[in-house]
Amino acid sequence: MLRAFQRAVFGLFAFVLISLVVSPSYALSAVSLAAPESRNHASRSQAQHAFLKDNQGHDSPEQARSRAHHIWAELREIEPTWKEAVIDARPAGLPATVWHYVNKVSRALFMNAPARTSTAEQGKLPVKLQEAVDGLTRAAHVDDDALFLLAEMNFYGNFSHPRRPHTALKAYSALAERSGNATAQHMLGLLYATGLGDAVEVDQAKAQLYYTFAAEQGEVRAEMTLAHRYHMGIATAKSCERAVEYYKKVADKSMDWWLSGPPGGHLIQRNAYRWADEVGGAYGEAASWTSSGPFAPDKNHIYSSFDNVLEYLDMRERQGDFGASLTLGKHFYEPPRGYRRNLKKARSQFMKVATQYWSRDGKVNPKAPKNIEKSAAKAAAYIGRMFLRGEGMEQNFEKAATWFKRGIASGDAFAQYHLGLMYRDGLGLPRDGNRAAAYLKAASEQQLGIAQSALGVLFLDQGDLDTAVRYFEIAKNAGVMEALYYLAEFSNQGLGRQQNCHHAATYYKVVAEKAEPLHSAFVEANSALDRNDYERAFIASLMAAEQGSEPAQANVAFLLDQKTSLLSLPMVPIFSNPLESVPSSQRTPLLNNPKLAQVYYTRSAHQQNIDSLIKAGDYHAAGIGTPTRTLAVKSNKTTPSIEAMYSCYSTAAEHPNAAQALWNMGWMHENGVGSVEQDFHMAKRYYDLALEMNKEAYLPVKLALLRLRARSWWNGVSGGKVKPMEDDEDVARKKGPKSIKEWFSRFIDSALEMEAQDYAERQAGEDGYGDDLEYIVNGEPGMPGGDNEYWYTGAQRREADDLYEDFDDGLLESLIIIALAGALAMLVYVRAQRQRDARANQGQGQGQGQGLAPGGGALGPVGANGLQPILAQPIPPEQQGPGQQGGFFPNPGDPEYQEWVAGGIGH
């Protein structure tokens, strides 16, 4: 067991280290740990090694080994220069700043091109690399390290080697077969599960098999992947118990990893974040769930970059603000995501503050500035911590204790915590649990989460479960990994509480995901994205995504996503789409995989990402990822699933603040798609709600409502079947118009009538109630409520009133609509013409419903992100077949779309 664990951890290091190229020795010992077991049982398996046979000449094991190590050393020379995984914190001081920007600009000007060769390029390798590969291939016949190295190079694209998933697959399977290497088995599972780069057809059975074997041998990534698969029911039956079983294994290792760090544990930094959020979410600023409603950026709050913060602090420091010095020090000590830690600078900052308060001999300086005491105590705690952990200076417990005592003299919690640890673990001080507890308790009283958690452990050790639970519960609020771990244990074992598998799984998962460096390469993925090295970013994210990390899943989908939304059209091509994550010019075959995008949108959606859920709906509409009869068989035929799309949208719409989903629902009701009845009133209600959720949607919603009125009117005058927006009893309407003049007058009438209806609704709503907003925001499932008065909240009414102030003149509104209708009639004609042409080309007509007659013009749904109205998508009321309620997805630019419209709906 221990060995298996060791192997897993080492295998992991192999991955991280090979990728980052830090030190070769660990990586190589990783594979050699896996006992080479050359039982070549089957002749079929020999065939799998075929690629190894291409080269003649075999090495003896010793030769092979030394050759492999030699090549490894040589290869490191080839590695491109961008090893730096994280950006340095911006330098302070003028010259340094200038240099920083010069660097930045020159990079932007000259070095923007992708640094790597892509998978697409299968050309010749550089001579030196080719030699290395040849040598490795020869050695690989007998040496596992060489084989492993080859596989990794082909998979990750290390040392400028092109990514060749297919070759990687062969090398991994050869290694797995020969030695049962857990890492290789895990990678095979990954390749079978994702079909990455078309290396192999997706085969979830084999994926499950290889993941299971890798996990049995203690491969931590495989354990995490299996946990996720059991938790979410991916290619296996959902099982909370089995998910917990695997998550616990990972969480145990995460805790071991954390504890293996210097006193106080490894630094836990969160580098997993959703890339889409940086551009306002998957649907862009204001339209995405993550950037609208309560998540909308606060307009009153100026968001500044970290660089600006540093600049500001720098300025404050010059003005003698010791608080700024301290904050700067903390920034250098624990920098925000993407910035490199700078211990030297951190130390000098802390010292700057501390020496203002204490003289050399540790006496308080009588001339110290006022109010510096607290800041100095904090600085002392940090200095002590750096001594305790040997960070930026030599580890020295004695000095550490001195500094902590200085901090404690001023009652600093952080210092109390650390001194507590020193007593607890006997670091330079006699081991003394009671004193440790006293210090930890003092820090806990000051709301220090890590201290509360550490104290909880002491109570656990004492056998006082009740108190321990209380401490862990309050530490949980600060997100302390240790506390979450013990709470998971309690829930899992039913200690001091009811046994609860679901809680245990959730907590274990959080713990496992906090120990990022143990299993994932988020830092690498993030920095690869910064360099526009999309493939590398993709591979690193994909692995984390398989392991169940929601941000990684969203990121993979984001990279693979090729459209902002199927419901929106890039109306103005002049503006390049800011949301296109990867420029199409760089969309290599590896990144051209919409099916995989759908897989991860779906998984991300199952982890409460509403934008992903809506995206999944978009993809279903395009026929991507919907279960079909063709099982695991690749087919390029896509069958759009309106039901699946509706299912996604309506589920998302149940969520609070999902304006985009409400909008889409409105659109579906407006057009009557699939089994959704065409119902203008419901459409209006959804549109209004979308506006209520998201004020930025003002223009699109208003345009949609205008369109809705026009359609409702058309429906009325032409005797269409969609009723809700008007009066059934009005027989005159049913007769249909006789002249253009009559049309117009009726149009205006109906507009006025709707106006009146709206007014009545609003009036009725006035005497409504107060807590409805809460109810909508808190979003009970379902679309409750019947008569729509109660759907209008106070705010919404105000909004509506504003609108009517703008458009108070009904006649003006009508005229606008008439103008629009005229324009639309034109467009409709053009479009119908085009469709006829297209059909002629196809040579056969597929049913009716295509000869689009000029009808109630409609603006297509407005782009989610954009405020751009979209070209006409007319609905031909007269010619709608019984099953065809009109309404389709206005995405005529897409060739698949035409096909779909032609043969899809209602047939």
d(CA 306, CA 327): 12
In one-letter notation, the amino acid at residue 522 is F
Contact 757, 775 (CB under 8 A): no
Contact 683, 708 (CB under 8 A): yes
d(CA 539, CA 535): 6
C-beta of 393 vs 478, nearer to other proteins: 478
Residue 206 C-beta: closest distance to other proteins, Å: 6
C-beta of 52 vs 324, nearer to other proteins: 52
Indicate the length of the chain as a whole number: 907
C-beta of 296 vs 465, nearer to other proteins: 465
Helix 642-653 / helix 659-671 crossing angle, nearest 10 deg: 140
Residue 593 C-beta: closest distance to other proteins, Å: 13
Residue 694 C-beta: closest distance to other proteins, Å: 19
Task: Give the number of other CB atoms < 10 A from CB of residue 376.
Answer: 28
Residue 79 C-beta: closest distance to other proteins, Å: 32
Instruction: Give the chain's count of helices (H) and strands (E).
Output: 41, 2
Q: What are the CA-CA distances from residue 502 to residues 203, 238, 508, 509, 513 (Å)?
A: 29, 12, 10, 11, 17
Burial 883-899 (b: 16+ CB within 10 A, else e): ebbbbbbbbbeeeebbb
Which residues are 856's β-sheet partners? 875
**Surface-to-core class of residue 43, CB atoms within 10 Å of its CB (0-12 exposed, 13-18 middle, 19+ buried):** exposed
Among left, alpha and beta (phi > 0; psi -120 to 50; other), residue 234 is beta
C-beta of 300 vs 636, nearer to other proteins: 636
Q: Over 335-365, what HEC string results?
A: CCCCECCCHHHHHHHHHHHHHHHECCCCCEC
589, two tokens: 């075959």
Which residues are 87's β-sheet partners? 339
C-beta of 462 vs 763, nearer to other proteins: 462
Residue 279 C-beta: closest distance to other proteins, Å: 25
Q: Hey, is 860 helix, strand or coil?
A: strand
Residue 210 C-beta: closest distance to other proteins, Å: 7
Residue 455 C-beta: closest distance to other proteins, Å: 7
Burial 112-132 (b: 16+ CB within 10 A, else e): eebebbbbbeeeebeeebeeb
C-beta of 175 vs 703, nearer to other proteins: 175
**Surface-to-core class of residue 807, CB atoms within 10 Å of its CB (0-12 exposed, 13-18 middle, 19+ buried):** middle
C-beta of 316 vs 441, nearer to other proteins: 441
Residue 564 C-beta: closest distance to other proteins, Å: 21
Residue 712 C-beta: closest distance to other proteins, Å: 12
C-beta of 157 vs 449, nearer to other proteins: 449
Helix 413-425 / helix 397-409 crossing angle, nearest 10 deg: 140
C-beta of 533 vs 561, nearer to other proteins: 561
C-beta of 23 vs 493, nearer to other proteins: 493
The alpha carbon of residue 729 and the mean position of all alpha carbons in its chain are separated, in whole angstroms, by 53
Residue 189 C-beta: closest distance to other proteins, Å: 11
Residue 554 C-beta: closest distance to other proteins, Å: 15
d(CA 866, CA 576): 12
Task: Give the number of other CB atoms < 10 A from CB of residue 730.
Answer: 12
Residue 480 C-beta: closest distance to other proteins, Å: 14
Q: What DSSP letter does each residue of 430-463 carry, written as one string?
A: ---HHHHHHHHHHHHHTT-HHHHHHHHHHHHHHT
Q: Taking Cα atoms as reference points, which of 696, 794, 867, 578 lies closest to residue 292?
A: 696
C-beta of 291 vs 884, nearer to other proteins: 884
C-beta of 653 vs 820, nearer to other proteins: 653
C-beta of 207 vs 870, nearer to other proteins: 207
Q: Hey, is 854 helix, strand or coil?
A: coil
d(CA 25, CA 30): 9
Which residues are 364's β-sheet partners? 358
Contact 152, 125 (CB under 8 A): no
Residue 282 C-beta: closest distance to other proteins, Å: 18
C-beta of 83 vs 502, nearer to other proteins: 502
C-beta of 208 vs 547, nearer to other proteins: 208
Q: Taking Cα atoms as reference points, which of 702, 692, 895 lies closest to residue 806?
A: 702
Residue 375 C-beta: closest distance to other proteins, Å: 24
Residue 39 C-beta: closest distance to other proteins, Å: 6
d(CA 262, CA 259): 8
Residue 266 C-beta: closest distance to other proteins, Å: 16
C-beta of 125 vs 544, nearer to other proteins: 544
Among left, alpha and beta (phi > 0; psi -120 to 50; other), residue 281 is left
C-beta of 325 vs 651, nearer to other proteins: 651
The answer for residues whose C-beta is within 8 angstroms of residue 394's C-beta and 6 or more apart is none
The answer for residues whose C-beta is within 8 angstroms of residue 585's C-beta and 6 or more apart is none
Contact 34, 7 (CB under 8 A): yes
Residue 462 C-beta: closest distance to other proteins, Å: 4
In one-letter notation, the amino acid at residue 159 is F
80, two tokens: 């491109």
C-beta of 369 vs 779, nearer to other proteins: 779
Residue 288 C-beta: closest distance to other proteins, Å: 19
In one-letter notation, the amino acid at residue 40 is N
